[in-house]
Amino acid sequence: MRVFRDKHIKYFSFFVIIYSILLMGAALWFCQSQMTAIKCMLGEHDTAIVSSLLEQGVSDKVIATAVFNTEVSIDGIELLNYLGVGENTISNSLPYFSKFQYNSWIKTGLFCTVFILILLVGIFAFLWIRNRLFQQSSKIIGNYINNDYSCHLPQNSEGEIFHLFASVEQLATMLQSQKETEHKTKEFLKNTISDISHQLKTPLAALAMYQEIIETEPDNAETVKEFSAKIGVALKRMEQLILSMLKITRLDTGNIVFEKNLYPVKEMVENAINELTTRATHEEKQIIIYGEPNQMLICDMDWTSEAVGNLVKNALDHTEPGGVIRIAWEKSTAMLRIFVSDNGNGIAPEDIHHIFKRFYRSKHSLDTPGIGLGLPLAKSIIEGQGGIISVQSDLGKGTTFTISFLTKS
């Protein structure tokens, strides 16, 4: 039975069994001692009667016949009744029986007292242990209700009560996890809204200023054209900011399901730089790709291409005219690595640990385009697919980003 898996009930059951065995043995001993006492009492009584009859001159033969006689006669009963000895005789009137009765009461009282005390001690110990367990558990559950999960219910024993504790502990763990998730979600939304509102202030202020300038000089075609173009740039920046934040938010909240398939790395890279080659040519920069043409990679084509594209955009932003951006890949025993390197300005040592933070802009690159979301978005995409992204840079010499994916050997 499952109830006996509880160690407290198991120990109490052992106590009851041992107690019952001891009680039975003690009862047999007590009955035996009482029978011995009765035998002694009857012997003393017979001895006294025989002694009295001998003193009165009754023959030994008559006495012997009387002692071993088992027949009851009416004359004998009438004589005893005449002497006041019968069923209703007060025990104090019978000295031998009175002594036997006194001793029996003492033995019975001691016997019952000892065993009742043992039973009460066992019951009290069981109830005390259980009550202590329930009080401790009640306190811990109360802490759970008050969102304090520092203590835990006992679960290292079997039995129904500990099975219940395990279920409550599992529920508390789920509630704690849910609460932590809700807290992280609230913090995430708070930070996201704060970031978006902060980043939108500048382009919105610029838009308001450009609009005001156009309104003050509506007949100046050159001014209207100039600031209309600036309005277009500001709107494009806002669009890029909002789209990037939406993508990062969806990635961070787990709302993106990557559709992984086997693709050639070269095809993925070409897809990533498809819209950047024109910019590179216009800025007098080169994008060179090289690697095993038939090398395959399990990934989400669109999202991985966007991550690589963001790294290339970052390289273009920080490379002077005549610079070269190289994209290469290689496969080792259990790893496939994609390298995006440039010979641009490099990253300052004090900035390299912050480049994957949202909206982070180094003081050395304030004059370069960008909104500070390309690298964080690339990191979220790569890590969301189980990959790793790292960076090495020499200030004034260039930077290399490395994307690593585990592969099947």
- Convert 227-257 to b/e letters by CB count within 10 Å (16 or more is b): beebbeebeebbeebeebbebbbebbeeebe
Rounded average pLDDT over 140-146: 78
pLDDT at 408: 67
- Report pLDDT digits (tens) over 296-315: 999 999 899 989 998 998 89
The pTM of this model reads 0.52
- Report pLDDT digits (tens) over 219-241: 777 877 877 887 887 777 777 77
Confidence band for 3, pLDDT divided at 50, 70 and 90: low
Confidence band for 147, pLDDT divided at 50, 70 and 90: confident
CA distance 216 to 260: 55
Confidence band for 83, pLDDT divided at 50, 70 and 90: low
pLDDT at 366: 47
CB atoms within 10 A of CB 8: 17
pLDDT at 98: 64
Q: Could you tell me what percent of the chain has a pLDDT over 70?
A: 85
Q: Is the CB of residue 388 less than 8 Å from the CB of residue 382?
A: yes
Q: Which of 7-21, 181-195, 291-305, 320-334 is the least confident region?
A: 181-195
pLDDT at 93: 45
Please tell me the CATH code under which domain 181-252 is placed.
1.10.287.130
Q: Is pLDDT at 138 greater than 50 in this prediction? A: yes
Residue range(s) of every CATH 1.10.287.130 domain in the chain: 181-252
**Terminal-residue alpha carbon distance, the chain:** 52
Q: How many CA atoms lie within 13 A of 39 on its CB side?
A: 6
Q: Is pLDDT at 360 greater than 80 in this prediction? A: no
pLDDT at 118: 83
**Domain covering 261-406, topology:** Heat Shock Protein 90 (3.30.565)
- Report pLDDT digits (tens) over 26-71: 788 878 877 877 777 777 777 877 888 788 877 888 778 777 777 7
Torsion over CA: 55, 57, 61, 66 (sign) = negative
- Report pLDDT digits (tens) over 184-225: 777 877 777 776 676 667 677 777 887 888 878 777 778 778
The overall average pLDDT reported for the chain is 79
Q: Where are the alpha helices (DSSP H) in 56-94?
A: 60-67, 74-83
Rounded average pLDDT over 383-392: 91
Q: Where are the alpha helices (DSSP H) in 253-300?
A: 265-273, 277-282
CA distance 75 to 381: 120
Residue range(s) of every CATH 3.30.565.10 domain in the chain: 261-406
pLDDT at 288: 92
